Amino acid sequence: MKKLLLFFCSILLFVNFSNAQIEKCATMHVLEQHKQQNSPYIKQMEDINVQAQRWINANENNLNFDIKGRMLSIPVVVHVLFHQNDSANQNLQYPIIQSQIDVLNEDFRRFNPDTTQTRAVFNQITADAGIQFCLASKDPNGNATDGITRTKVTKSFNPFTAMDHMKSAATGGKDPWPSDKYLNLWVCDMSFAGFVFVLGYAQFPGDNPLTDGVVIQYQHFGRTNNPTAAPANLGRTATHEVGHWLGLRHIWGDADNCIATDFVHDTPNQLKASSSDCNKTLNTCVDSLVDLPDMVENYMDYSSDICMNSFTKGQSQRMWSQLFAHRMGLFTSDGCGGQELQVMPDLKNILCFNNCDGEISLDVYGGTPPYSYSWSHVSFSSPTVSGLCQGSYTVTITDSDAASSQITFNLNDPQTLVANLVGNQDISCDNCEDGSIQTQVGGGTGNYSYSWNTNPVQTTANANNLAPGVYSVVVSDGCQTITLTDSVVNPFVGINKNRYNALKVFPNPSTGVVYIENAGLQPLTVSVINLMGETVFSSDYTGTEEKITIDLTGKVSGIYFVKFNSKDQVMVKKVTLSLNH
C-alpha cells in the first residue's frame, strides 16, 4: 500500500484539483504493490508467463494456427456498487451495461466500425482475437440471471485506503463470483474528495482469485454513459483493462525507453505512453526490422477512446496463451449457456531425419462430452496419435450433440545431416605442429557433436595444433553420423624449399581446369589423389613444359592432392575443386 499511496500522493502534490490529471490505468501500480507485499501469487504469475510463452512458441513453429478458427465466450458478471446518496448516477441501468458488453465484443472481435481508422501500415497485423463476452445467463448455483448484481454502499472506494475493498462484502463491497468461471467486473466510485484520479484497473492471470477481475470508474463505463466524459467516453477503458485481465501489458512496456517489452512480437517499440490524444505522427523508437510508427490506435496504449481501434495478432496469441495457461475454467463455464468446442494441441515434431516418431496430443474443452476423433491418413480414433511421419494431418472432433471442429497440423522432418571439410592449413615450418582442419556442418537436428582421432581427442568443429598426418572426424547430430578424412602435410620434407615455393598450382579453388607452373623438375610425374586415397589423374611430363594443364571437370567437388614425383623428390600441393554441376 505504501508504494500505491506514494503514487497517488504524487498526483496530489503536482496537480491542481481544479484541473486534475487522470491516470487511465492503475493495473501496473497494483501489481507493483503486490510485489512490495511479497504476494505468494507473484511466482505463480511468473510461471504462467513462462508456460504461456512455451505455448506461443509451439504454435508459431509447429501448428497452422488460425486464431479466427477459435471462439471463446466469456460470461461477465457486472457488480454495480452505488452510493445511496447518488443512486441516479451510480446505479447504472441495463442499457448502459449492455452497451459496455457490446463495446467489448466489437473491439475483441474487430467488429468495431472505426477499424477504417487503422493506418494502412498496421492492417497486416491487426486481428480478430476470437474472444467474445456475454452477460452471464446462469449464476454459480445454476439459476437464471441477467448477469448484474446491485449493491448499495455507504462510501466511495478511493485509492488511498480502499484498493480492492469493492471486491468484498466484508469491506463494504460485493464478493466475486468464482473467478475461474466468470469475468467479475466491478463498477463503482473510486473518486477522492470529489475528484476522479483513476479510470480503472485489472488483475493479471495468476494473482489472488478472491480479487480477480476488473474495476471501472462508473462515469467511464459503457458507451452511452456520460458522453461528456471524453476522451474516455466510448467504453474502451474496459477494453483496455480486460486486455490486462487476459495477460496483455501496456504497448510501451511500462518503461520510458525503447528496449522495454510488452512480450508481444508484432507491436512496435514505443518510448512511453500516449497522452490521451491521437498523435499519429509519433515514431519514438527505431524498430530493428521494419521501422513502424507508434501504434497509438492500439487498445493497450493510453490514447483517447476515439483513437483506439485494434489489437494485433501477437496480442491475440498472447491472450489465448494466457487463457490456456491459467483460465481454463472459462472453456467449460456454462455462464453463457454453453461453449463451442476448443482444442489445445501438443505437438512433438519428428526427432530424426526420415524417422516416423512424431506425435500429436489434443486436450478438448467445451461442447458436450464425450468427444470422438477422426484423423486423416492414420487409423486412429483417440486424442493422441503417435508414430507419425512428416506431413499434414487433419482431425475432426465431434461432440455428443454432433457439433464438430476441424484442425490441420503440420509435422516437420529435420533435414538430412550435411558435413564437409572446407579448408585446412598445413604446418608452417619443418617440425611444427600448427596445422588445422575446418569442418562445416548443416541440416540435421542442429545438435552437432564432433570427435577427432587426435590425442587427446578434440571435440570442436575445427581441429587445431596438428602435426603432419591423416585425420578423421565423426560428426553427429544425435541421429545421423558422417565420417570425414583429411590430412595435414609437411611440404618441407626432402625437398628443395625454393623449388617447392616456386611450384604453382592455380587457380585454387578451381572450377575444373587446373594449371601447373613447373619449377625445373625433370622428368616429372603428376598425380591427383582424392580424400579416399584414389588416384583420379596421372600423367608423365618431360619437365620442359612452361605450363601443364589438368582437366578435372568430370570429378566431384572437394579437396584433392596434386603429387609431383621427380627422381628422388616428392612434393604435394593441395587444390580445392568447386564445380557447378
Q: Are 357 and 373 in contact (CB under 8 A)?
A: no
Q: DSSP class of residue 577? A: E
Which one, of 324, 313, 336, 337, lies nearest residue 364 by Cα?
324
The identity of residue 451, as a single letter, is S
Q: Are 64 and 410 in contact (CB under 8 A)?
A: yes
Which one, of 214, 80, 84, 79, lies nearest residue 155 by Cα?
84
The contacts of residue 96 (CB under 8 Å, 6+ apart) are 221, 222, 224, 225
Q: Are 271 and 284 in contact (CB under 8 A)?
A: yes
> Known catalytic residues?
241
Order of strands across the sheet that contains 404-411: 372-375, 391-398, 404-411
| CA gap 327, 157 in Å, rounded | 28
The identity of residue 454, as a single letter, is T
Q: Are 448 and 480 in contact (CB under 8 A)?
A: no
The three cell numbers of residue 128 are 480478430
- What is the SS3 assignment for 545? coil
The DSSP code sequence of 297-334 is TBTTS---TTT--B-BHHHHHHHHHHHHHH-THHHH--
| CA gap 425, 374 in Å, rounded | 60
| CA gap 468, 433 in Å, rounded | 7
Whether the ω angle into residue 509 lies within 30 degrees of 0, i.e. cis, is yes
Phi/psi at 60 (nearest 5 deg)? -70, -35
Alpha helices by DSSP H, listed for 155-312, are: 236-245
Q: Are 279 and 248 in contact (CB under 8 A)?
A: no
Going from the C-alpha of 349 to that of each of 390, 403, 446, the distances in angstroms are 8, 29, 14
- In this structure, the number of other CB atoms found within 10 A of the CB of residue 198 comes to 25
Going from the C-alpha of 3 to that of each of 35, 190, 468, the distances in angstroms are 10, 18, 70
